[in-house]
Amino acid sequence: MPPQPPSPVPDFIYGTAWKEDRTPALTELALRMGFRGIDTANQRRHYFEEGVGQGLAAAYRSGLVTRDDLFLQTKFTYQPGQDHRLPYDPAASLSVQVAQSMASSLDHLGTDHVDSYVLHGPSSNHDWTDTDAEVWEAMRNERDAGHTRLLGVSNVSLRHMQQMEAARVELPTFVQNRCYARLGWDRAVRQFCREHKIVYQGFSLLTANHEVLQHPLIASLTSASLVASANATPAQVVFSFARTIGILPLTGTSNAEHMKQDLASHEVKLPSDAVHAIESLAG
């Protein structure tokens, strides 16, 4: 089956990692506040995917949203990234593990398809290996079976992406990476993505960049002239900057006010010289 045209991708994604018992309520709250993109993983160690499904079900029940309003993204995680709570039989082949993990995700999320299925990380920090090639093919089969619309990879280097390209395999629609300001906000991978029309999703934009949030440049950009109603917050400046340079941001906030502020970062328009300055602030 040829790749399906991209379904609408929201311009902010709510991340559900590390929320444990609060996952259902926070997922529902994020939808109530206006998020329409939800990121999770079938990795019980860091995510409670079933709890995300409970939050979605509550939002459907109350008439807040329907499944079609949402962009749901989950991940396949290799065994070394998991604890004992595996969503597959570790003795099965990798392609069976992918199929089992996907079936379990669909069950957790109460849907017959997700919008994006992401390889949580390659099997090696250095290379795109035969193991990854086998899993990627299994993920493509899941896509062709209609269980996901789109595919992604996460925690990848430029080298991984170049090796994928050299192997002439289908490139992903999404890359999801931790975005360090000191690495030029992952400049090399972002550049590859731009050249190959891959959507770059950035996480830990705040938590990986404390020094940026406290930088005088960011403080100077929070002035009232940037937003109609109030001063921008440093977090809003960072999210606005990220979007301006082509990053689709994730936020994992557990705070309703922060959710509101993060979504309102659309209103923050940064002058282009400020964008260049932030981009080269620390890398």
Ligand X SMILES: NC(=O)c1ccc[n+]([C@@H]2O[C@H](COP(=O)([O-])OP(=O)(O)OC[C@H]3O[C@@H](n4cnc5c(N)ncnc54)[C@H](OP(=O)(O)O)[C@@H]3O)[C@@H](O)[C@H]2O)c1
| 139 contacts: CB under 8 Å, gap ≥ 6 | 76, 98, 117, 119, 148, 151
One residue of 252, 268, 270, 274 binding ligand X per CB under 6 A: 252
Contact call for residues 54 and 78 (beta carbons, < 8 A) = no
Amino acid at 36: R
203: β partners: 178
Contact call for residues 37 and 65 (beta carbons, < 8 A) = no
CA distance 256 to 212: 23
CA distance 185 to 191: 11
One residue of 226, 262, 278, 281 binding ligand X per CB under 6 A: 262
Total interface residues for ligand X by CB under 6 A: 24
DSSP assigned state of 35:
-
Compare residues 93 and 124 and give the one whose CB is closer to ligand X.
124
Pick the stretch among 14-22, 48-56, 126-134, 140-148 that binds ligand X (CB under 6 A).
14-22
Pairing of strands 199-203, 114-119: unpaired
Q: What are phi and psi of 39, to 5 degrees?
A: -110, 130
One residue of 67, 187, 258, 266 binding ligand X per CB under 6 A: 258
Taking only Cα atoms into account, the Rg of the chain, rounded to an integer number of angstroms, comes to 19
Nearest approach, Cβ of residue 197 and ligand X (Å): 21
Compare residues 6 and 81 and give the one whose CB is closer to ligand X.
81
CA distance 128 to 124: 7
Pick the stretch among 10-18, 86-94, 107-115, 274-282 that binds ligand X (CB under 6 A).
10-18
For the chain, percent helix, then strand, then coil, each to nearest 5?
45, 15, 40
Determine if 65 is a binding residue for ligand X (CB under 6 A).
Answer: no
Pick the stretch among 95-103, 130-138, 182-190, 250-258 that binds ligand X (CB under 6 A).
250-258
Nearest approach, Cβ of residue 169 and ligand X (Å): 20
Nearest approach, Cβ of residue 91 and ligand X (Å): 25
Whose CB is nearest to ligand X? 252
Residue with tokens 């993983």: 41
Contact call for residues 55 and 31 (beta carbons, < 8 A) = yes
Pick the stretch among 24-32, 50-58, 89-97, 253-261 that binds ligand X (CB under 6 A).
253-261
Within 10 angstroms of residue 187's Cβ, the number of other Cβ atoms is 14
One residue of 74, 154, 163, 173 binding ligand X per CB under 6 A: 154
One residue of 176, 192, 212, 227 binding ligand X per CB under 6 A: 176
Nearest approach, Cβ of residue 120 and ligand X (Å): 6
Compare residues 6 and 234 and give the one whose CB is closer to ligand X.
234
Determine if 251 is a binding residue for ligand X (CB under 6 A).
Answer: yes
Determine if 155 is a binding residue for ligand X (CB under 6 A).
Answer: yes
Q: Which 18-47 positions form the footprint of ligand X (CB under 6 A)?
A: 39
Structure tokens at 148: 């996901």
Compare residues 60 and 78 and give the one whose CB is closer to ligand X.
78
Q: Residue numbers of the site for ligand X (CB under 6 A)?
A: 15-17, 39, 120, 154-155, 176, 203-207, 233, 235, 250-255, 258, 261-262
